[in-house]
Amino acid sequence: MQTILPPPFDKMMIGNSCIALLEYFHQPAWIRRVDGRYVWVNKSFLKFFNVKMEDVIDKVSEDFLPPEIVETSYITEQEVLEKRCSLTFHIEQKQFRTTIHKTPVFSDSNEIIAVAALMIDLKQELELETQLAHAKDFYEILLTYMGECLFFINKNNEFELINKRGKEALNDLGFKGPLPLTYEIWDNFLSNRYNTQGKKYTEDRKIIPRAWKGEVILNEEICLELKDGCQKFFLASATPFRNKNDNCIQGVILTVTDITKEKNLLNTLAQKTKLVEQRNQELHQFAYSAAHDLRDPLRNISLLASFIDEKLKKQDYEEVEFLLKKLLNTAAYGGSLVKNLLDYSAANREIKMEVVCLKDVVNRTITTLSNLIEQAEGKIIFNNLPIVRGNAQQLQIVFQNIISNAIRYKGQDPLVISISAERKSSLWVISIQDNGPGINEDFKEEIFLPFKRVRANTNSRSSGLGLSICRRIIEQHGGKIWLDPQPQTGACFKFTLEGMQD
């Protein structure tokens, strides 16, 4: 059997210029005869496969290349020989990725005598894709778990990107609208938007349209009024997204942070700070007034004692009995003042809460004040008083002080005091109404300050602490107390207490 030899190969068939061009490439290039033996390779080939020229020329691929590359090389080359045209192959394996351009070399008789090839190493591209995949994973995790709501609005005014926190925020706000979300849907849904001054946003002040005009908005506070009347507060930032080539705005990046909790905490802190300042002011006035009011009875007691002493020395007994009664009344007033001061101080301390029957509290109050009520020819009417959460002893002081004031400042008509209760949600509103001369509405705040007396007292002396004590006790119970301006005659005090669950 006669062996058929491949046609002889001469580099002159390709041309020196073509060889020079292949040599110039910084990518592996080679020429291999149809029998598989290499006749020429460039320096990049030797470097890429880490071989020497003598290891390659007139050798076949099996002599120096890994088996997986050899198999792929022969398959692709066979396809070029069969199709007799230039072909491009994309080869990807675990360690590398390449694109190989192969073209047949023809003899003068139009026979294929060799295959020239140029390999483009895509290892760098593979590394970049890996880095890009890692970056994509990183940013997906970042967008998913970041604390801020993130939105990207494209040039069609569609919300192309909404991160996890953004979707949760829309759901919390009650958004049930269609998707994809557009700016028109967004604008209609968030129509009740207000700034920090409580003014509703006009079209020219809305954040997204301003960003489309090129404005960068950073941390602008927005208030949303929800359907249930509640308010939520947000910090919003919007940045135009521009094309690097022509600087045209391609979209808007919007970030939103819910600051409702922080806002409420700041408001609570501001209220407590204001309350502390008010308490400090009251304490300052209290100390001054207490010293002033205690000084008068002590001075009068001392003066009356001196008068009595002089009368006794002169054995002048005519006015001694009168002076003694006056001294005893002054001492009683001083004792009452000290008691009220102690009650006022106790009203500032933490109290133990329990189940309290207000009917029992009022009955005990009437028993305590029975002599005063009888002297005033008074009558106290009440029925169906509720059971509340509170401190019975402290609440008795409240009823006692208000009823005592009604007796002290009663008018010419027989005194009638009516006590009632009205349920409002989880609270009870307690009303104590008398038929006396009433209190001018101008003094509705002043009467609750320590040592304030706004009504003429012709029958007895008052410390001016009673209503101030009442306010402290009711506030300790988590309620409010006020003078109701509605009654046409008399005074009506109202306060709230927490009711017991049914």
User: Which tens digit of pLDDT belongs to each residue from 5-36?
Assistant: 455 555 545 556 566 666 777 889 999 999 89
Give pLDDT, residue 176: 79
Strands 29-33 and 112-121: antiparallel
The answer for 4, left when phi > 0, alpha when psi is -120 to 50, beta otherwise, is beta
Return d(Cα 283, Cα 363) in angstroms, integer: 33
CATH of the domain at 480: 3.30.565.10
425 and 376 part of one domain: yes
Q: Do 34 and 81 touch, CB atoms closer than 8 A?
A: yes
458 and 429 part of one domain: yes
Please, which pLDDT band fits residue 501 given cuts at 50, 70 and 90? low
In a domain, 67, yes or no: yes
In a domain, 3, yes or no: no
- Name the average pLDDT for the chain: 82
Give pLDDT, residue 488: 67
In a domain, 110, yes or no: yes
373 and 479 part of one domain: yes
Return d(Cα 398, Cα 351) in angstroms, integer: 14
Give pLDDT, residue 66: 84
Domain housing 34: 11-123
361 and 483 part of one domain: yes
Helix, coil or strand: residue 160: strand
306 and 336 part of one domain: yes
Return d(Cα 251, Cα 16) in angstroms, integer: 55
291 and 356 part of one domain: no
In a domain, 136, yes or no: no
183 and 248 part of one domain: yes
Q: Do 28 and 48 touch, CB atoms closer than 8 A?
A: yes
341 and 352 part of one domain: no
402 and 491 part of one domain: yes
Give pLDDT, residue 154: 92
pTM (two decimals): 0.46
Beta-carbon contacts of 346 under 8 Å, excluding residues fewer than 6 positions away, are 394
362 and 489 part of one domain: yes
Average pLDDT of the residues in 282-289: 64
Return d(Cα 399, Cα 366) in angstroms, integer: 9
Domain's final residue, options 311, 328, 346: 346
Domain's final residue, options 317, 346, 375: 346
328 and 221 part of one domain: no
pLDDT tens digits for range 421-465: 999 888 999 999 998 888 888 888 888 877 666 654 445 555 677
Query: What's the number of domains the chain is made of?
Result: 4
CATH of the domain at 233: 3.30.450.20
287 and 221 part of one domain: no
In a domain, 129, yes or no: no
In a domain, 251, yes or no: yes
* Beta-bridge partner residues of 89: 100
Domain's final residue, options 324, 346, 368: 346
In a domain, 1, yes or no: no
Using CA of residue 35, residue 41, residue 46, residue 48, what is the dihedral sign? negative
Please, which pLDDT band fits residue 344 given cuts at 50, 70 and 90? low
In a domain, 218, yes or no: yes
Give pLDDT, residue 242: 92
